[in-house]
Structure 1
Amino acid sequence: METPVGQVPWAIKGELILNCNCTVFCPCVISLGKHAPTEGYCQAWSGIRIDEGFYGDEDISGLNVGLVLEIPGLMARGNWKAAAYIDERANEAAYDGLINIFTGKARGTTGLFGVLVSEFLGAERAPVTFETEGNARRLMVGKKIQGEIVPVPGKNGADQVVTNTDYWMGPDITVATATKGRVRAFGRVWDFDGRSAEICQIDWVGPQGK
């Protein structure tokens, strides 16, 4: 008998990068979505590099995911729109598992997507490349998402990190900025060069304890 989606164990360890239209560091990290984005609304792309992961019996290690997010106001009020690009190397079981994780159906850490996303614009297989060169991170999804972010240097050139937060992505968020943030996807045409960005080491699980 097949295990219902919301009861399948899953986990993802890796790194997440995100670039949004906020002019300075995203206030959602500290306000937990209770403070409006700097422009009053949020438009963002995100990349996830899965270093280790599984969905049920399926190994999803080594795969990448790209996301497009649109939030009309306060993050905590919901009514989000979202879309996903799944690594074309994913087999059918891995693809289905990742869709369940990133729509919130799999519950756990990303279960909030099931509550906050009112419209899932769709998912597509695509060549999703997540590269690290020096301190720069790049996400390339064909011509749909072309992004590069770098940490904002602090004292003595060290990264600035907001630590011990209760942010859903992870407790420690590295403050970054986009050197390139271009989205041409699902009717959206965005350019967020020089805008807010984040780097986060992720350790997500589901559905237990969430």
Structure 2
Amino acid sequence: MSTQWQIQGDYLESCTCKGACPCIYLEPPTEGDCSALVGWHIKKGAYGEVALDDLNIALALNAPGPMAEGNWKVVLYLDQRADEHQQEALGNIFGGKAGGHPELLASMIGDVLAVERQPIGFSVDDGGRHLTIGSSYEADVKAIEGQNGRKVTIDNHPLAVAPGHSLVVAKSRSLRHQNHGIDLDMSARTALYSPFEYAGP
């Protein structure tokens, strides 16, 4: 019998594309391939009887062409604060074994380069999001200012990490990762963030 689960919170992604990332419209990335850091902060959630409140997950990925075509190479980072049962639950959910939207995202992965336990930080403020992995890797993003100081948003895009939520368009202040061949050290590239809600089965 499948385990019932649900999680909700905040997510961000910061990638190597210049300008508006075409990957979310099923178009080729601006640099030929697309590498990114993606992070989720679980405000509230549970996998069966296992509480997942206040835990973080991160993913470093490289897509060799249009993201929707799959063949991603990924490194999955699990929150070091999670106990053995929580780590197993997070691995099942974000590895696609537990169903729901993460199963669709996981179907695009061609190669899991590593699964690592790391201290993961995820901070939220009104103008941005900040993801840290260990002491060396980070995605620090700030929302682009739109008309009358409001945030620029995208709705109903076909490749959605967080379906049903408006994406806030942002720009990276820092994007750094050097591990398992996914090497990033740049700024002023595309970033996006929004709330998320996943559930299954």
Q: Smaller-chain TM-score range?
A: over 0.9
1:58 and 2:53 are equivalent in the alignment = no
SS state of the match for residue 46, structure 2?
Answer: strand
Could you tell me which of 65, 68, 88 is aligned with 1:96?
A: 88
d(CA) in 2 for partners of 1:189, 1:70? 10
Aligned pairs for 1:61-210 (under 5 A) are: 61-166=53-158, 167-171=160-164, 172-207=166-201
SS state of the match for residue 100, structure 1?
Answer: helix
Q: 1:40–1:187: structure 2 CA closer, same or farther, 3 Å change rule?
A: closer
Q: 1:173–1:133: structure 2 CA closer, same or farther, 3 Å change rule?
A: closer
Give the C-alpha shift of residue 188 in structure 1.
2.7
Runs of 4+ in 1 over 3 A off after TM superposition: none
Q: 1:25–1:164: structure 2 CA closer, same or farther, 3 Å change rule?
A: same
Structure 1 runs not aligned, ≥5 long: none
Instruction: Kindly tell me the number of residue pairs found equivalent between the two proteins.
Output: 199
Structure 2 runs not aligned, ≥5 long: none
Equivalent in the alignment of 1:10: 5
Q: Which amino acid aligns with 1:109?
A: H
Q: Do 1:144 and 1:185's aligned partners in 2 also have CA atoms closer than 8 Å? A: no
Q: Do 2:79 and 2:118's aligned partners in 1 also have CA atoms closer than 8 Å? A: yes
Equivalent in the alignment of 2:18: 23
Give the C-alpha shift of residue 205 in structure 1.
1.1
Q: Which amino acid aligns with 1:100?
A: N
Structure 2-normalised TM-score?
A: 0.93
d(CA) in 2 for partners of 1:192, 1:51? 29
Is 174-183 or 97-106 further displaced after alignment? 97-106
Is 175-184 or 126-135 further displaced after alignment? 126-135
SS state of the match for residue 75, structure 2?
Answer: strand
d(CA) in 2 for partners of 1:66, 1:149? 15
Q: 1:146–1:114: structure 2 CA closer, same or farther, 3 Å change rule?
A: closer
